[in-house]
Structure 1
């Protein structure tokens, strides 16, 4: 499990516009890196829309918001367009980054053990170090919580 003070592992994934994006592209900025289960599900939609609504405030504080799920870039494009999401959504269908950040885990769903994303948000500082780890976050409250974490 990654912890505060660890170097955030770099990665490159495709965004909703078909552009390849690396975490290292944002060196010098704070990054809110949040992992979610699936586009267009109720909790994930609430979480994304809250980040979207507060996005100007994140920008004012010099922070970038990046959402990651195992959905495809095409799915992310539809999701972002449908809800007017102004931030980056990264596609990780091979689950490489989900595993790298230790968010792909066994969990209980409707009484059955399944593998899936445990909703987790990382705050990464300007030097690429992990400044905060927030596990099992509440979807609707996550954006507010992260805004408060930015100094």
Structure 2
């Protein structure tokens, strides 16, 4: 990836293609990932293995729609990204088809001229009074 802003589109393409090899290429080998349930993975191998499990099962027919990111450069080789992501779960999910909106925070760094994710956290949008998931506007 040539720019940090490329990350959400590549993330979406890898997810929607259920291509965990391409998904793994989004991350540096020593990256970290916190999913929307608070599961913490360290290293691209754990990140890919965790996602492969759900893409082989409950998310095998899911899709994502990622918005363009808000990018905050913090140096020539580091940037913070925030972007909205809508998960469209399909029939394979135990709860059946439904949608979830999340906000993704990612720290991207450039190594050897290529931008990849160093750290990512995904937070589900919920009503703070009830804990019920909500969709944004």
Normalising by structure 2, we get a TM-score of 0.28
More relative contact order in 1 or in 2 (CA 8 Å, sep 6+)? 1
Determine which structure has the larger helix proportion and give its number. Answer: 1
Normalising by structure 1, we get a TM-score of 0.26
Determine which structure has the larger strand proportion and give its number. Answer: 2
